[in-house]
Copies of this chain bind each other. A is one copy, B any other.
């Protein structure tokens, strides 16, 4: 990423000015985890950074881009080589210390954009910790793909879909086409009857919630058929997500 409102590229003098004018710090958060044979391990951070950079460039006076968190909470993917994970408590601690450090210079509002839905529970806990100990701070967070429900619904997707599937592959085709191994894209688990009974129970959206590891859900780590993805789909997801994020930031800044 580049750009004038990236904190790592500012001097201390410029950071002082940015904090003083009440900017919102946006933190891109990823995972470094398996994405099948076709997508790179860094897929989630790559998408989060691309989205953040786009929104930040549209709102240069409103937003400062803070440091990335490249490794997230991925215990359900550790059976696949290269997957790294932080314990949830460590992930929360790192973000907490980021926020404390930034708050010491006067920042009060923070938005985490996560490319990895597996970070959601930990982000919710972080928000509760802050409410207890730092009620003066405001924290919002969003997973990338969930910001574009319409564009995703418009895609041609399998009965079972999700991780490394149609929507995620499309986004990578849009933002980092060189990193997509097109010839390695192959369908993973695509129908419910390919799942064992416990996995089927775990995929149900109604509560109770029950989690199973991804090597049980899919031998290749893929849910869905990534061959159906197109860069066009990815652009549509990013357009919708960027608009949702920018609208939220502007509305927040006005409160």
Q: A: which residues have CB within 8 A of B?
A: 7-16, 19, 32, 34-42, 45-46, 67-68, 70-71, 73, 75-76, 78, 80-90, 93-94, 97-98, 101-102, 104-105, 111, 118, 120-125, 127-129, 131-132, 135, 138-143, 146-147, 149, 179, 181, 184, 196-198, 201, 206-211, 213, 221, 244-245, 248, 251-252, 254-255
Point out the residues of chain B lying under 8 angstroms from A184, CB to CB.
Answer: 11, 13
Q: Do A132 and B87 have beta carbons less than 8 Å apart?
A: yes
Given the known interface contacts A15-B82, A211-B127, the answer about A9 and B67 at a Cβ–Cβ threshold of 8 Å is no
Point out the residues of chain B lying under 8 angstroms from A82, CB to CB.
Answer: 7, 10-12, 14-16, 19, 105
5 nearest A-B residue pairs (beta carbon)? A15-B82, A8-B42, A121-B124, A142-B208, A16-B81
The complex places the Cα of A102 from the Cα of B41 at a distance, in Å, of 13
Q: Do B42 and A9 have beta carbons less than 8 Å apart?
A: yes
Which of B11, B70, B245, B252 lies in contact with A210, CB distance below 8 A? B252
Which of B101, B198, B252 lies in contact with A85, CB distance below 8 A? B101
Point out the residues of chain B lying under 8 angstroms from A146, CB to CB.
Answer: 207
Point out the residues of chain B lying under 8 angstroms from A149, CB to CB.
Answer: 206
Copies in the complex: 6
Q: Do A208 and B70 have beta carbons less than 8 Å apart?
A: no
The winner among A12, A81, A104, A125 for most chain B CB atoms within 10 A is A12
Q: Do A208 and B248 have beta carbons less than 8 Å apart?
A: yes
In chain B, what residue has the closest Cβ to A15? B82
Q: Do B35 and A11 have beta carbons less than 8 Å apart?
A: yes
The complex places the Cα of A249 from the Cα of B146 at a distance, in Å, of 30
Q: Do A208 and B16 have beta carbons less than 8 Å apart?
A: no
Q: Do A86 and B76 have beta carbons less than 8 Å apart?
A: no
In chain B, what residue has the closest Cβ to A145? B207
Which of B39, B198, B255 lies in contact with A196, CB distance below 8 A? B255
A179 to chain B, nearest CB (A): 6
Given the known interface contacts A13-B37, A37-B13, A97-B87, the answer about A32 and B7 at a Cβ–Cβ threshold of 8 Å is yes
Point out the residues of chain B lying under 8 angstroms from A42, CB to CB.
Answer: 7-9, 67
Q: Do A131 and B9 have beta carbons less than 8 Å apart?
A: no
In chain B, what residue has the closest Cβ to A93? B90
Which of B101, B129, B211 lies in contact with A139, CB distance below 8 A? B211
Q: Do B132 and A75 have beta carbons less than 8 Å apart?
A: yes
29 pairs across A/B with beta carbons < 8 Å? A8-B45, A9-B40, A10-B41, A11-B37, A12-B34, A12-B41, A12-B81, A13-B37, A13-B184, A14-B82, A15-B41, A19-B81, A32-B67, A67-B70, A67-B71, A68-B70, A76-B128, A84-B102, A86-B97, A87-B129, A88-B129, A93-B93, A123-B209, A127-B209, A138-B198, A138-B210, A139-B210, A141-B207, A207-B244
